[in-house]
Structure 1
Amino acid sequence: MTRLHLFDLDGTLLHGSAAPVEISQQLGVEREIRELERAFAARELAPSEFAVRACALWSELTDEVVERAFTGAPWLEGIREVWADIRSRGERCAVISLSPDFFVRRLLGWGADAARASRWPVLAPGAEAEAGPYPREPVDPAGILTPAAKVKIARELCAEFGIPATECVAYGDSLSDAELFAEVPVSVAVNADHHVRELASHQYSGRDLREAYALVSPGIR
């Protein structure tokens, strides 16, 4: 029976960081975004409220800025190798994240079968774009994912790939992953907080996804 491996992004594939933090570092508003991250973690902000406030900080955001943030981010080691091994076994891997889709989709180039994320306003293609400051359109709350949406998307991916929910493995680190961890039979808490450590089948602390993957698979061939 094939399996579906579901990966969170912020705090999981990214060690000690999140896509909005990496983007904000490029724009010089890291302090402000970390305050929003704190409020979101404390459940003082809904995901859509976080998105609206983050967009207000990113007036100079372009695709070029996102690419620099993505390239320079503190990724766990071995992501490409793990995903290549998953696919070599006839299994599937996907990323489900509340972060902006224009950041998360770049992981398709690393070997993910799917990357599902929040739909944020469209980016200008570069620094010389004439479209005006970001965002050029309002945030659509319906397009911003919630923790509950991760479960819905996981079920949709199971149907798309023809994999039963009983064959899913989830990797995550925080409260936004708790509902998904409660849904799947096998889960790995990666550098996680107490919200998911108590739910997880396995726990991993470190900076190499290959080691976390080895807890649920024989290891990279």
Structure 2
Amino acid sequence: MARLHLFDLDGTLLHGTAAPVEISRQLGLDAEIAELEREFVAGHLGSPEYAERVHALWAELTEAQVTAAFEGAPWLDGIRETWAEIRDGGDYCAVISLSPSFFVERLAGWGAHAAHGSLFPTVPFTEPVNPTGILDAAAKVKIADRLCEEFGVGRSDCVAYGDSLSDLELFGAVPVSVAVNADQRLVSLATHSYVGRDLRKAYELVRHDR
């Protein structure tokens, strides 16, 4: 049976940062996004409220700045190579992230079979963000279930990779998980843990798990 590898983005594929932070850096809004991140992590903002706030913060965002943020971000080494090996072995890989869809979906070009993020309007923004399209931790599990159906696998065939509390529900829903540079609370729930900057080494922990 094929396996489905489910990757988080912020803090997992990206080392020590998040897509909104990298995007905001292009606009010179480091302090503003840092404050929003603190409020979100502390639980003072829900996912829809956070999305509305960053949407307003990025009123002048351009496609060129998104490209610069994506290309200049501190990605883990070996992402393309890991996904190529997964594909060559007949398995599937997907990204599920709370970060904006216009950033997350670029990872399809690196070899992910699917890449899902919170649904934001096209850049530059001419429309408001729709709160119903913003993902939370529970939505990650729902999307994983849809991907299982699409690829003809079950939850028992899934491997989840993540770093933070937004991955807790998904880690609890699948049998194999890899905590990547993760919060200690997630490490305690994961079946494997990796600290470092090379996705190939994280994948090596589960390469032969079936």
TM-score by length of 2: 0.97
Instruction: Look up the SS of the partner of 2:206 in the other structure.
Output: coil
Q: Deviations over 1:53-102 (max 9, x none)?
A: 11111121011110000000000000000000000000000000000000
Structural RMSD (CA) = 1.1
In the alignment, what sits opposite 1:26? Answer: 26
Match for residue 192 of structure 1 among 164, 171, 182: 182
Residue segments in structure 2 that go unaligned for 5+ positions in a row:
none
Which range is displaced more, 158-167 or 33-42?
33-42
Q: Which residue does 1:122 correspond to in 2?
A: 122
- For 2:46, the aligned partner's letter is A
In structure 1, the partner of 2:6 is 6
CA deviations on 1:90-136 (whole Å, 9 max, x unpaired) are 00000000000000010000000000111112213xxxxxxxxxx32
1:104 counterpart residue number: 104
SS of 1:213's equivalent in the other structure is helix
Tell me which moved more, 138-147 or 68-77. 138-147
Choose which of 134, 144, 148 in structure 2 pairs with 1:158.
Answer: 148
Tell me the equivalent position of 2:197: 207
Q: How does 1:80-95 map to 2 (within 5 A)?
A: 80-95=80-95
How does 1:169-184 map onto structure 2 within 5 Å? 169-184=159-174
CA distance in 1, matches of 2:120, 2:154: 30
Structure 1 residue ranges without an equivalent (≥5): 125-134
**Structure 1 range deviating more: 17-26 or 31-40:** 31-40
Residues 1:76 and 2:57 aligned together: no
1:18-38 CA-to-partner distances (Å, cap 9, x unmatched) read 000000000000111011111
Corresponding residue SS for 1:217: coil
1:63 aligned partner: 63
The 5 A counterparts of 1:124-143 are 124=124, 135-143=125-133
Calculate the TM-score normalised by the size of structure 1.
Answer: 0.93
AA in 2 matched with 1:174: S
Equivalent AA in structure 1 for residue 204 of structure 2: A
**How far apart in 2 are the matches of 1:12 and 1:83?**
14
Q: 1:10 & 1:16 partners in 2: Cα distance?
A: 8
Q: Separation in 1 of the partners of 2:59 and 2:135?
A: 22
Q: What is the rounded CA distance, in whole Å, between the counterparts of 2:44 and 2:193 in structure 1?
A: 28
Task: Report % sequence identity.
Answer: 65
Please name the residue that 1:129 is paired with: none
Q: How many residues align?
A: 209
* 1:41 corresponding residue in structure 2: 41
- How far, CA to CA, are the matches of 1:191 and 1:2 in structure 2? 26
